Structure 1
Amino acid sequence: MDKTFHISSYCHIKNNSVSLDGKLLFTSPIQEFTAFVKSAAQQLHTNYAKFYKMDNLSKLAFLAADVLLKNAELPVDTENDIAIILSNKASSLGTDRTYQASIDDPDNFFPSPSVFVYTLPNICIGEISIKHQLHSENCFFIFDSFNADHLWTNAQSLLKRNKAEKVLCGWVDFDDKNYEAFLYLVEENGIIAHSPNEIKKLYRT
């Protein structure tokens, strides 16, 4: 008999708020992203010293993943067989602009290695994997808009081929002042069917 998979939990970060499974965890009147995400991380006990040195895309992805994976109560100090499939439309554009600005002025030429390291969108996957000891498949896709069908196909493939016990999937987009994260965890246990329609419904929640 084929295994069936479910969405066990999901997280949204948008409009200056963080929610888990549709329940509001944190909200703030702060509009500016850097101040908002710092306040959210402190309030939600995101204990990771390197968090504050990350670029904005990585902070956004890391915070959403941290909320989900802490809720999953993963074993401490052991490897976790969780794959990661993320996507967005802006890639690492916000950080790319920052880095470009550091090399545009010939009289103030200072290419920063600490900025350059984040000029790939999949770097956020590395940060998540380090914190939660995830040692499985991962990939980052760029789409014009949220693509539930593609995420579903890839997650199903990994799970059915036993490439991972669980898959962390979603959309993490940051561009200038606009940001949005929607991550969800797929596994055998759960009450929400893992299907493109259900994924789209949760995304629009």
Structure 2
Amino acid sequence: MTPVIETYCHLRNNRIFRDGKLLFESPDTNLKDFLKSAYKFLNPGYAKFYKMDELSKLGFLAAEVLSPAFDKELRPEETGVILSNTHSTWVTDLRHQQTISDAENFFPSPAIFVYTLPNIMTGEISIRHRFRGENAFFIFEKFNPELITDYINRLIMSKKIKACLGGYVDRSTDGYDVFVYYLRSGKNSTQKPKHTAAGMWKLYEII
């Protein structure tokens, strides 16, 4: 049985959409201010958020938007986090490079360096929501629902997990693009989209 998407969200152009409907819109024109406004709106009460880099903040906020649908009856190891993007941690890498490129002004920051791996974002989400299932982060040339859906569906079919947070969280010097969804196995609903590559493309492009 193909898993179904319980809920999904987009973060684009200073707006947050859940299941295709506008949830939050900020007048802020830069990402830093948008992230602060979105955090205050969602009010998760998680002070560590302010220490994260922008990529992790984007993924964290997407997970918060979807969290009401998370199945709390599942064991921690039954929920996975499988995410992807195109630019890895490029923006954070640039900031780290700026702190070490000048020998006379050498001031590397551990607070920046720790976020120069994209799987730190999946770790932040897993810690927040106590997910201990399969955890992976893939880097593709562009959004690749074919591989992601196949990978997650195989985990479901092999009974390694029963639910998963999947999708695409990208941050580049040109902007950001977030599409994240939560799926659950064992559901047989004709009202909700199936977890297929074609279905994910359709949801990704709906906004």
Q: TM-score, length-normalised on structure 2?
A: 0.93
User: Out of 43, 46, 49, which is 1:45 matched to?
Assistant: 43
Shift of 1:167: 1.2
Aligned with 2:76: secondary structure? coil
Q: TM-score, length-normalised on structure 1?
A: 0.94
Q: How does 1:31-42 map to 2 (within 5 A)?
A: 31-42=29-40
Shift of 1:29: 1.8
Unaligned runs of 5+ in 2: none
Shift of 1:79: 2.9
Q: Does 1:135 align with 2:132?
A: yes
CA distance in 2, matches of 1:81, 1:156: 14
Shift of 1:73: 4.6
Is the contact between residue 77 and residue 161 of structure 2 (CA under 8 Å) also seen in structure 1? no
Amino acid of the structure 2 residue aligned with 1:196: A
Change (3 A) 1:61 1:50: same
Unaligned runs of 5+ in 1: none
User: Out of 153, 176, 180, which is 2:177 matched to?
Assistant: 180
Is the contact between residue 46 and residue 63 of structure 1 (CA under 8 Å) also seen in structure 2? no
Q: Which residue of structure 1 aligns with residue 145 of structure 2?
A: 148
User: In terms of mean alpha carbon deviation, does 184-193 or 125-134 score higher?
Assistant: 184-193
Is the contact between residue 10 and residue 18 of structure 2 (CA under 8 Å) also seen in structure 1? yes
1:159-201 Cα shifts (integer Å, max 9, x gaps) = 0001111011100000124001100112133521111111100
Q: Does 1:63 align with 2:61?
A: yes
Change (3 A) 1:132 1:118: same
CA distance in 2, matches of 1:18, 1:54: 19
Is the contact between residue 85 and residue 142 of structure 2 (CA under 8 Å) also seen in structure 1? yes
Shift of 1:74: 4.1
Q: Which residue of structure 1 aligns with residue 195 of structure 2?
A: 194
Q: Which residue of structure 1 aligns with residue 20 of structure 2?
A: 22
Shift of 1:148: 0.8
Is the contact between residue 32 and residue 177 of structure 1 (CA under 8 Å) also seen in structure 2? no
1:61-91 Cα shifts (integer Å, max 9, x gaps) = 110011112x215439x73621111111100
Moved >4 Å (runs of 4+): none
1:22-63 Cα shifts (integer Å, max 9, x gaps) = 111100121110110110111111321100110000000110
Q: Does 1:5 align with 2:6?
A: no
1:81-135 Cα shifts (integer Å, max 9, x gaps) = 2111111110000100000000012121111111110000110001000100001
Is the contact between residue 70 and residue 182 of structure 2 (CA under 8 Å) also seen in structure 1? no
Is the contact between residue 10 and residue 17 of structure 2 (CA under 8 Å) also seen in structure 1? yes
* Alignment: residue pair count: 201
Is the contact between residue 99 and residue 112 of structure 1 (CA under 8 Å) also seen in structure 2? yes
Is the contact between residue 76 and residue 132 of structure 2 (CA under 8 Å) also seen in structure 1? yes
CA distance in 2, matches of 1:204, 1:110: 42
Change (3 A) 1:80 1:35: farther
Identity among equivalent pairs (%): 45
